[in-house]
Amino acid sequence: MLPTLLLLACLPAYGRDLPLDTIKLPAGFRITIYADAVPGARSMALAPDGTLFVGTRGDTVYALPNRSGGPRADAVLTLLKGLDTPNGVAFRDDALYVAEVGRILRYDRIVERLRNPPKPVVVSDAFPRDAHHGWKFIRFGPDGRLYVPVAAPCNICEPDPARYAAIFRLKPDGSALEQYARGVRNTVGFDWHPQIGELWFTDNGRDWLGNDAPPDELNRAPRAGLHFGYPYCHGKSIADSEYGGKRACAEFTPPMRELGAHVAALGMRFYSGTLFPESWRGRVFIAEHGSWNRIPPAGYRLTTARIEGGRVTAYEVFAEGWLKGLAAWGRPADVQVMPDGALLVSDDKAGAIYRISYGK
């Protein structure tokens, strides 16, 4: 029965007539297509001129220019091809940084050369090449360093703690590589608190501990050197069935919020715009990509976490409707706040970027 359920949950979305009218949002919000024909759209990064760069778990990176700043991209350009799972993209100082499985590439003056990109500069090739959880999300922090996670190369194992299950950071030229956080199974999204500058990140819990355990996590790392529990402890207090006897959960930094089990929490951003009403500003918006082995499926939605005084005081659904029964026609993967305050959402299943706005 399980293979059939998994097949139903993973059926592709055919055509461009995406049923956006089935997406439920709070009153006053609306969702439209920002761009379609973006196969496998995952992580997003925005250039100052409005060009949106979109990574994938295939071999392609897209560029979506928007010279007018309007509600829809001007075009979808296939920018780069033939890369090794270029999920992660980041932009800084007129250059696009792209994370492959084992290395970070830089494409200089890329906005000027969207139709004729330059050859890449290899910033660093110091990362493992394991395919399992090998795709990466990357972003520049307020300290000017590029943050790069290296996930566990397994569902559950005890990998080399100096190399895996950690978040690293390095200078833009690739030097000064160092570990920032450890005990992180697989983060595919992080952001910094807009006022305090502290790092917050999602983390995907392990599989095969049941339908309702362990939870995915929303974590805070205000300083370097913290350990978040993997593989010994999951969530706030769930000892791992294989490794939990080695170390106690009390030894580790607990999550700020336990999210849904197996929801696959990926991209997240603090909402820093002013288009949304005041009560939504400063919240964390999370793309929950959706489960692959839970019965019934879970996730396939956007959630939001209210942060007050450094604590999560609420966690609730913001947008849902990509999942209908056992079948999903879309899977949110990342979110991006735009200069006009709209929130973009990438969907690697439907191959689209959505725009969520408020008001007319």
pLDDT per position as a tens digit, 239-286: 999 999 999 999 999 999 999 999 999 999 999 999 999 999 999 999
Q: What single-letter amino acid sits at 142?
A: P
Q: How big is the CA angle at 123 (ends 49 and 150), to the nearest 5 degrees?
A: 100
Longest alpha-carbon distance in the chain = 58
Return the minimum-mean-pLDDT range out of 5-19, 148-162, 211-225. 5-19
pLDDT per position as a tens digit, 122-152: 999 999 999 999 999 999 999 999 999 999 9
Its pTM stands at: 0.95
15 has pLDDT over 50: no
Both tokens of residue 314? 């609420």
- Could you say which DSSP state residue 12 is in? P
- Could you say which DSSP state residue 24 is in? B
pLDDT per position as a tens digit, 277-326: 999 999 999 999 999 999 999 999 999 999 999 999 999 999 999 999 99
CB atoms within 10 A of CB 74: 14
Q: What single-letter amino acid sits at 226?
A: L
Residue 16: per-residue pLDDT: 64
DSSP helix/strand/coil, 43: coil
Residue 302 CB contacts under 8 Å (≥ 6 apart), including other chains: 285, 286, 287, 288, 317, 318, 319, 320, 332, 335, 345
Residue 17: per-residue pLDDT: 85
Q: What single-letter amino acid sits at 225?
A: G
Beta strands in 109-224 (DSSP E): 121-124, 139-140, 146-150, 166-170, 178-182, 190-192, 199-203, 215-221
End-to-end CA distance of the chain: 45
The whole-angstrom separation of Cα 82 and Cα 98 is 13
Residue 13: per-residue pLDDT: 41
Q: How far out from the chain centre does Cα 305 lie?
A: 15
* Among candidate residues 296, 300, 264, 85, the one with its CA nearest the CA of residue 186: 264
Tell me what percent of the residues of the chain surpass a pLDDT of 70.
96
Q: Are 267 and 287 in contact (CB under 8 A)?
A: yes
Residue 9: per-residue pLDDT: 38
CB atoms within 10 A of CB 351: 21
pLDDT per position as a tens digit, 23-60: 999 999 999 999 999 999 999 999 999 999 999 999 99
The whole-angstrom separation of Cα 289 and Cα 291 is 7
